[in-house]
Amino acid sequence: MSVRQSLLAILDQGPCYGYQLRAEFDRRTGSTWPLNVGQIYNTLDRLERDGLVEKGDVDEHGHVYWQITDAGAAEAHAWLSSPVQRSQGTRDELAIKLAVAATLPGVDVSDIIQTQRRASLTQLQELNRAKYAGANPDGPEELAWSLVVDSMIFAAEAEVRWLDHSEQRLALHPDHAMALQLSTEKPKRGRPAKESPVEPVETAR
């Protein structure tokens, strides 16, 4: 998730000071992605360095208002009008964990799946309870928050389906057929071992 572009998009609505910017971000996401003030100001400093925002007025409380530049507005508009590019690889910890566990001898992958499924179902229940606890589902803040929660619910449901699918696939293979022993073939690239110094050989005189 791009904090940088999100803050630019909010600043495109009008100048904000740091704490105000964090509050506006929380209003629009239901605090599902909490940002600390240090992160806000670090991002603003980088945006200022890149010419996308600039410092503006200071109010009677000493709050410095940040305002977007033309270049910043252009970047915010480009972000909003462009699709989010998903990376081709994955760094999802669960997928990597299960893939590695499935190839390790002596590891009960079924137990790993069951443990994760219980955790995923618990998270799904909590998300559903939170979704239906909203007092004003038609309000703009509630609607924005529910969009984020819906995304989290769909992701949790997909995770449970993937766990079921993985369990069915792994059940078709006996444990010994999946285990990978350490390869005896050594990689050709890597840091070479330090060579022992060669003692000079004395020649007979």
Using the structure block, give the residue that is written with the tokens 């970047």: 75
Q: Is residue 192 part of a domain?
A: no
Count of CB atoms within 10 A of residue 16's CB? 23
111 and 171 share one domain:
yes
Helix, strand or coil, per DSSP, at residue 145: helix
117 and 173 share one domain:
yes
Q: Say whether pTM exceeds 0.85.
A: no
* pLDDT tens-digit map of 7-55: 999 999 999 999 999 999 988 887 777 788 899 999 999 999 999 999 9
* pLDDT tens-digit map of 109-148: 899 999 999 999 999 999 988 887 765 566 788 888 888 8
Range of the domain at 51: 3-81
Residue 196 CA from chain centroid, whole number: 46
**Residue 74 belongs to a domain with what CATH number?**
1.10.10.10
**Number of domains within the chain:** 2
115 and 68 share one domain:
no
